[in-house]
Amino acid sequence: MIHGTWEPAPAARWEDAFLTGNGRHGALVLGDPEDDRVIVTHHTLVRPNNTPADTAPPRLAAALPALQDALLAGDATAAERFTDDRPLRWVRPFHPAFQTRVRRAPATPAPPVRRSVDFTTGVVTGVCGERRSEVFVSRADDVLVQYVSEPGPVVEVDLDHRLPGVPAALGTGRGIASAGRETVLTLRARYPDSPLGYTGLTLLFSEAGRTTVTASGVRIEGARRLLLLTRVRRHEPGADTEETTEREIAALRALTEPSDGLPALYARLLARHTALHGPAYRRVALDLEADPTERALPGSALLGRPDSTALLERLFAAGRYHLLSSSGLLPPRLTGLWTGHWNTAWSGAFTTNANLNLQTASAVAADLPEVTEAHRALIEGQVADWRDNAREIFGARGIVAPSHTDGVSGHTYHFSREYPLHLWTAGADWLLVPLLAHEDASGRRDPRVTALLAELAAFYEDFLTRTGPDGRIVIVPSYSPENRPRGGSWGAVDATMDIAAARHALRAAADRAPAPDATRLRALADRLPPYRVNDDGALAEWARPGLGDRYDHRHLSHLYPVWPLDEINPYDTPALAAAARRALELRGSENDSAHGHLHHGLVAARLGDAVRTEDALARVLTGDYFHDSLMSAHYPARDVYNADAAHTLPALLIEALVQSTPDRLVLLPAPPARCPRGRLTGIRTRFGARVDLKWSPGEYEAVVRPDRDAEVELRSPAGSARLALRAGEERVLSS
| Pair 689, 674: CB distance under 8 Å | no
Q: Please, which residues have CB within 8 angstroms of residue 42's CB and are 6 or more apart in sequence?
A: 24, 25, 26, 97, 198, 232, 233, 234
Residue range 77-127, pLDDT digits in tens: 999 999 999 999 999 999 999 999 999 988 778 899 999 999 999 999 999
pLDDT at 209 (0 to 100): 87
For the cut 90, the answer to whether the pLDDT of residue 608 exceeds it is yes
**DSSP assignments along 372-407, one per residue:** HHHHHHHHHTTHHHHHHHHHHHH--SS----SEE-S
Phi-psi region of 321 (alpha: psi -120 to 50; beta: other; left: phi over 0): alpha
For the cut 90, the answer to whether the pLDDT of residue 53 exceeds it is no
Distance CA(575)–CA(20), nearest Å, equals 46
Is residue 526 in some structural domain?
Answer: yes
| Pair 228, 222: CB distance under 8 Å | no
The answer on 394 and 489 residing in a single domain is yes
Domain count, the chain: 2
The answer on 177 and 69 residing in a single domain is no
Is residue 114 in some structural domain?
Answer: yes
The answer on 258 and 111 residing in a single domain is yes
The answer on 401 and 255 residing in a single domain is no
The answer on 146 and 177 residing in a single domain is yes
Residue range 421-477, pLDDT digits in tens: 999 999 999 999 999 999 999 999 999 999 999 999 999 999 999 999 999 999 999
Is residue 371 in some structural domain?
Answer: no
Partners of 18 in beta bridges: 29
Output the pTM of the full model: 0.97
Residue range 525-547, pLDDT digits in tens: 999 999 999 999 999 999 999 99
Q: Which of 250, 265, 282 lies at the terminal end of a domain, its last residue? A: 282
Q: Which CATH number is 228's domain given? A: 2.70.98.50
Q: Which of 540, 556, 588 lies at the terminal end of a domain, its last residue? A: 588
Is residue 629 in some structural domain?
Answer: no
The answer on 555 and 436 residing in a single domain is yes
Distance CA(150)–CA(622), nearest Å, equals 41
CA angle 6, 11, 12 (to 5 degrees): 150
Strands 123-128 and 131-137: antiparallel
Q: Which of 267, 282, 297 lies at the terminal end of a domain, its last residue? A: 282
Residue range 255-296, pLDDT digits in tens: 999 888 999 999 999 999 999 999 999 999 999 999 999 999
For the cut 90, the answer to whether the pLDDT of residue 54 exceeds it is no
| Pair 135, 145: CB distance under 8 Å | yes
Provide mean pLDDT across the span 693-701: 97
The answer on 123 and 201 residing in a single domain is yes
Is residue 480 in some structural domain?
Answer: yes
The answer on 152 and 28 residing in a single domain is yes
pLDDT at 84 (0 to 100): 94
The answer on 203 and 161 residing in a single domain is yes
The answer on 258 and 154 residing in a single domain is yes
Distances (CA, A) of 288 to 251, 312, 626: 45, 8, 20
Distance CA(361)–CA(650), nearest Å, equals 9
Average pLDDT score, the chain: 96
Is residue 634 in some structural domain?
Answer: no
In this structure, is the dihedral angle defined by the CA atoms of residues 542, 546, 551 and 554, taken in order, positive or negative? negative
Q: Which CATH number is 571's domain given? A: 1.50.10.10
Is residue 273 in some structural domain?
Answer: yes
Is residue 709 in some structural domain?
Answer: no
pLDDT at 1 (0 to 100): 87
The letter for the amino acid at 222 is G
pLDDT at 181 (0 to 100): 85
Among residues 425, 510, 522, the alpha carbon closest in space to that of 476 is found at 425
- Assign 540 to helix, strand or coil: coil
Q: Residue 159 sits in which domain range?
A: 4-46+97-282
The answer on 131 and 55 residing in a single domain is no
Provide mean pLDDT across the span 202-218: 93
At 180, is the pLDDT very low, low, confident or very high (cuts 50, 70, 90)? confident
Phi-psi region of 238 (alpha: psi -120 to 50; beta: other; left: phi over 0): left
The answer on 259 and 136 residing in a single domain is yes
